[in-house]
Amino acid sequence: MIDLNAITEEALLKTRLCDLPASIEGTWLKECVEELYRELDAKGLSFHPECYLADEWLTPEGETVIGIPFYLAHPVLIKLEHKMMLEAEGEDKAWCMQLLRHEAGHAFSYAYDLHQRSDWKKVFGSSDETYGDTYKFKPYSKSYVRHLDGF
């Protein structure tokens, strides 16, 4: 088994993701997922989206699961992500919880077909429409979506 604390950066970069000894279990990520579930329970929401390690934050279209970036599962991987990408999205508990809550919203939408409801479409738009490559928010507008950095 690979020892992430002893592997060289060069060897790590040559390692396939599936060969990394990375898991949500036994890490601070597990605590974040459990906190998300407690928050959902407190609101009377019994659905708990399953979480798994992925190559980025995501909820696949039409799926009810949450992908958490694999690099958050170990400090060595977070450090390498910083070096390669200049940040490690979701690297602290507050940021991770923001992103988990956001992705949970997508999972709930898919689980209960919320995105098909007319009142949902009125607020968020139709999921059938193509989303542009860029999003230009207008902070003075009452209908813009606030970016997570503002929280």
Dump pLDDT digits (tens) for 12-55.
999 999 999 999 999 999 999 999 999 999 999 999 999 999 99
The residue segments making up the domain with residue 93 are 9-150
Q: Is residue 124 part of a domain?
A: yes
Quick one: which of 20, 26, 85 has its CA closest to 56? 85
Q: Is residue 91 part of a domain?
A: yes
H or E element at residue 29: helix 28-42
Find how far residue 138's CA is from the centre of its chain. Answer: 25
Q: Is residue 132 part of a domain?
A: yes
Q: Is residue 1 part of a domain?
A: no
Q: Is residue 129 part of a domain?
A: yes
> pTM higher than 0.75, yes or no?
yes
Q: Is residue 4 part of a domain?
A: no
Q: Is residue 29 part of a domain?
A: yes
Start-end of H helices in 90-145 = 93-111, 118-124
Strand partners, 58: 67
Specify the pLDDT at position 137.
59
Q: For the chain, first and last CA: distance in Å? A: 40
* Secondary-structure breakdown of the chain: helix, strand, coil percentages, each rounded to the nearest 5: 45, 5, 45
Q: Is residue 3 part of a domain?
A: no
Flag residues of the chain having pLDDT under 70: 131-151
The count of structural domains within the chain is 1
Q: Are 60 and 51 in contact (CB under 8 A)?
A: no
